[in-house]
Amino acid sequence: MEDRVHQRDFTTDEENPAAIHARHSTDDENPDSNPRRSTASLDPETPGSVSRPILEKSPPPVESYVVQIPKDQIYRVPSPRAAARYEKYIRNKPRNCGCCCCRCCWCLFAFIFIVLLVIGIAIGIFFIVVHPKTPNYSVENLSIEGFNLTTTQTLYPEFDVSVKANNPNKKIGFYYESGSSVTISHSNVELSNGSLPVFYQPIKNVTVFKVKLTGSLTLPTALSSTLKEEQNAGMVPLVLNIRVPVKLKIGSLHTWKFKVNVNCDIVVNNLSENSKIVSKSCGASLKL
């Protein structure tokens, strides 16, 4: 009787797959009935058991990544691959040195042009507003000593010249500075030289200053013969040159130094103390 029952039960399990599937489903739904799962987690109510709660990790935010790299793998210098790429980039990089030089040159030229333009505008305004005029010069008197044309020895001629300077400007005064040069010559041969006194000439003023010129020379034979002929004719031409630095005073403003050049053509009747001026003419220019 028992043999039949066991055989029937065995046969039933093998021949009825639905029962087997139902049994497995029941085990999955009741994890406590599974002996392997029950041994993995201890019952909290059982004395001496330790509860281990299962921590569920929250998923990271969308499109958020955290990358952790050990410190020993962080490169302090470029990697060989990155270094090779950098070298290749440097070699293939176009050189713009020529363009930079051209740009610098153009900037320099533009700066110089602007500076010159500003200076030109300032000078133009100055001439329009102030309207400067060069003083007028003339030789008033001339006396000569030490000119002996009958000797062949060294001569020591002296010329005392009186020059009149007329300042026609209404807004400009002139400071005659040191460093001037006054010469008197004949046929491009300098006979004597000297310098002007230092003084100030105010606006609308006429000043007469005297200059003593001295020299030392031996006359060439040709020049001595020419001077004798001209003295016998009563027409000895001389040239007086004046070069003097001046400063302009405009109100309370003092400008930088300018150069005044004066050239006077003088004709005297002889080269003695009693010489007289036959003709004279002077021209002056002011150089910036």
Residue 238 maps to which CATH number? 2.60.40
Range of weakest confidence among 6-15, 65-74, 163-172, 173-182: 6-15
Residue 236 maps to a domain = yes
223-237 pLDDT, tens digit each: 989 999 999 999 999
Residue 233 maps to a domain = yes
Residue 69 maps to a domain = no
174 forms beta bridges with 201, 248
The overall pTM is greater than 0.95: no
189 forms beta bridges with 186
Structural domain boundaries, residue 280: 136-287
Whole-number Å distance between alpha carbons of 261 and 245:
9
97-141 pLDDT, tens digit each: 556 778 888 888 899 999 999 999 988 887 888 888 899 999 999
Buried b (16+ CB within 10 A) or exposed e, 242-268: bbbbbebbbeeeeeeebebebebebbb
- Say whether pLDDT at 204 is over 80: yes
pLDDT in the model for residue 94: 57
Give how many domains the chain has, as a whole number.
Answer: 1
- Say whether pLDDT at 24 is over 50: no
Residue 89 maps to a domain = no
The CA-atom distances, in angstroms, between 184 and each of 58, 86, 127, 190, 259 are: 112, 79, 33, 6, 19
Query: Phi-psi region for residue 131, left (φ > 0), alpha (ψ -120 to 50) or beta?
Result: left
- Say whether pLDDT at 214 is over 90: yes
Residue 63 maps to a domain = no
Task: State which of 14-23, 89-98, 229-238 shows the largest mean pLDDT.
Answer: 229-238
Within 10 angstroms of residue 139's Cβ, the number of other Cβ atoms is 19
The 8-class DSSP code of residue 188 comes to T
Residue 73 maps to a domain = no
Residue 46 maps to a domain = no
Residue 58 maps to a domain = no
